[in-house]
Structure 1
Amino acid sequence: MAQLPASIDDTVKLLAHGEYVADRALATVVFLALRMGRPLLLEGEAGVGKTEIAKVLAGTLGRRLIRLQCYEGLDVSSAVYEWNYAGQMMAIRLAEAEGVVDRARLEDDIFSERYLVRRPLLQALSPDPAGAPVLLIDELDRTDEAFEAFLLEVLSDFQVTIPEFGTVKAPEKPIIVVTSNRTREIHDALKRRCLYHWVDYPDTERELAILRAKAPKAPARLSREIVAFVQAIRSQDLFKVPGVAETLDWASALVELDAVALDPALVSDTLGALLKYQDDIQAMQAGKAKAILDEIKAEATGKARAV
């Protein structure tokens, strides 16, 4: 298990070791969350690298990653705990067959650790010889407000109260990362318990650095043109602007095709790796992609002449 970073610069290096290119603002809030033992709430558009933060922290710090993927209808039995009902019924039947009449003792037995099934949140609060784990609560905005309210005890006191069992408190605070795509607003009560950061789309320089780290096989010219093209279409009126994840998917697809530079036909044939809605693909295919490429190449030529 690695030591927590001692400075913001160390945090930048830690994330870079996991091939995550972070700007200083993001590195700062990650550093503070680690040093202060506070949950970290990351909001931003899909595909900008929020979930990856938790994965990289788990990998670089040598911690176990526990992921709770949120969805509509998520409840306590799926997220926190449930009882092994089959085992409990068997214990009751055996007790009846043996003539056990001490109901209090039987109740203590069937609601003991032996029959407790730990789900992600309770697992994250349990002792771990490898150190406190990284708990990723992913896409919290997909759940309802009732479940969000249940999380308040976990995020503030790092504990869960089970009516039949008692309170389970973490012996060491887990590293908690909560993500949201902001399809709905997260309640202020939950936000108050977290450090907050909006993860935005990267600028050209940082996205190029990300591409070089994650897709090193892409030729230098192709990488520059991919980033320039993606940066340009993010300003267009699209239903879903491509995130960094789509940039990397597109780069991987182009590498598989042995591309060394972009051209209109190649862009048209591979837009499905970058854009995920047919209306957006059609908008780019209707001469728009060629116009953007022409502008990119003209700008690159101008820079070359200036040098």
Structure 2
Amino acid sequence: MTETARPVPGSIDETLEMLTGADYVADRSLATVLFLSLRMKRPLFLEGEAGVGKTEIAKVLASGLGRRLIRLQCYEGLDVSSAVYEWNYAAQMIEIRMEEATGDVDRRDMERNVFSEKYLIRRPVLEALTGKAGAAPIFLIDELDRTDEAFEAYLLEILSDFQVTVPELGTIKAEEPPIVIITSNRTREIHDALKRRCLYHWVDYPDAARELEIVRRKVPDANRRLSTEVVNFIQKLREIELFKAPGVAETIDWASALTELDKVALDPETVSDTIGVLLKYQDDIARIQQGEGRRILQEVKAELSAAE
């Protein structure tokens, strides 16, 4: 670690301050469950649509607490060798050949040598168990819903005891359990047995006021009028039926892109030209370009004018 680990916040207000200090605009309910997770040393399970800021919470924690962030990015087919550990077989074979070349080979000594820590490749799960007391890492298990149920069951065992058994070495147990953040985009349901091990929070899309505050923190150079129009446009966009509604990450990207184009307000042509920053599916883009975007923009302009 490059910095000294800091103690966990002592109150909900301190948790909010830590999040705000890292420009993460959270509501009190999120700060509360995060505080409880840290104090109770329970994994925090975060569900919500993609792009609403679930992964960012782990990054903020790592920064705010001065801890290492260890990330296990989940995907279909994830197995033990990719997630937990594997042996450096190439280096082991070289060692065996070198020992055989000496002529005097003790098979038991050779086995103990090649199956030692020297040749063990630690993957994220095992790496997360190596933190020292008072400096346990932040262990982010990202998009758990992308894995299969077999790996989820294996992970359940890890979260129960925070230890891993390597047959050739024995059991490796965490000196202090890591701070675990699990995220899911809910492409499938996670089993109740795993959820019971965790505290739970649904991360929803922010309301207009909170999303505007996020944009102003993340894109401080954006014109204030533009930021307001962007947020109001996206809030209305989420109300219509789309294949994939834009998340907060897309809001930030769009505000940044428009700022790069020196825009100070939205207009129909700009919306049409830059909609690919905001939406990622052609059917959604076509719907906006064929008139829906113009209608939403007119409503936004009219509401802002009426409020002035």
* TM-score (norm. length: structure 2): 0.94
Task: Flag structure 1 segments of 5+ consecutive residues without an equivalent.
Answer: none
Q: Tell me if the contact between 1:41 and 1:177 (Cα under 8 Å) persists in the aligned partners.
A: yes
Q: Tell me if the contact between 1:155 and 1:194 (Cα under 8 Å) persists in the aligned partners.
A: no
Tell me how far apart the structure 2 counterparts of residues 127 and 57 of structure 1 sit (CA, whole Å). 15
Per the alignment, residue 216 of structure 2 pairs with 212
* Aligned CA-pair RMSD: 1.6
What is the letter of the counterpart of residue 64 of structure 1?
R
Task: Flag structure 2 segments of 5+ consecutive residues without an equivalent.
Answer: none
What is the letter of the counterpart of residue 282 of structure 1?
A
Tell me how far apart the structure 2 counterparts of residues 149 and 105 of structure 1 sit (CA, whole Å). 36
Aligned residue pair count? 304
Tell me how far apart the structure 2 counterparts of residues 191 and 37 of structure 1 sit (CA, whole Å). 15
Q: Tell me, what secondary structure is at the counterpart of 2:295?
A: helix
- Give the CA deviation at 1:102: 4.2
The structure 2 residue matched to 1:132, chosen from 130, 133, 136, is 136
Q: Tell me if the contact between 1:204 and 1:228 (Cα under 8 Å) persists in the aligned partners.
A: yes
Tell me how far apart the structure 2 counterparts of residues 168 and 180 of structure 1 sit (CA, whole Å). 28
- Give the CA deviation at 1:150: 1.1
- Give the CA deviation at 1:87: 2.4
Correspondence 1:105 to 2:109: yes
What is the letter of the counterpart of residue 119 of structure 2?
Y
The structure 1 residue matched to 2:32, chosen from 23, 28, 33, is 28
Tell me how far apart the structure 1 counterparts of residues 300 and 249 of structure 2 sit (CA, whole Å). 22
The structure 2 residue matched to 1:222, chosen from 220, 226, 237, is 226
- Taking every aligned residue pair, what percent have the same amino acid on both sides? 68
Correspondence 1:177 to 2:181: yes
Tell me how far apart the structure 2 counterparts of residues 57 and 145 of structure 1 sit (CA, whole Å). 28
Per the alignment, residue 277 of structure 1 pairs with 281
The more displaced of 270-279 and 106-115 is 106-115
The more displaced of 35-44 and 97-106 is 97-106
The structure 1 residue matched to 2:258, chosen from 225, 241, 254, is 254
Per the alignment, residue 268 of structure 1 pairs with 272
Q: Tell me if the contact between 1:81 and 1:117 (Cα under 8 Å) persists in the aligned partners.
A: yes
Tell me how far apart the structure 2 counterparts of residues 190 and 99 of structure 1 sit (CA, whole Å). 52
For residues 102-130 of structure 1, the C-alpha deviation after alignment (integer angstroms, 9 at most, x for no partner) is 43333222222122111111111113598
- Give the CA deviation at 1:207: 0.5
Correspondence 1:56 to 2:60: yes
- Give the CA deviation at 1:91: 3.0
* TM-score (norm. length: structure 1): 0.95
- Give the CA deviation at 1:92: 2.8
What is the letter of the counterpart of residue 217 of structure 1?
D
For residues 73-120 of structure 1, the C-alpha deviation after alignment (integer angstroms, 9 at most, x for no partner) is 111111110112122223333443445564333322222212211111
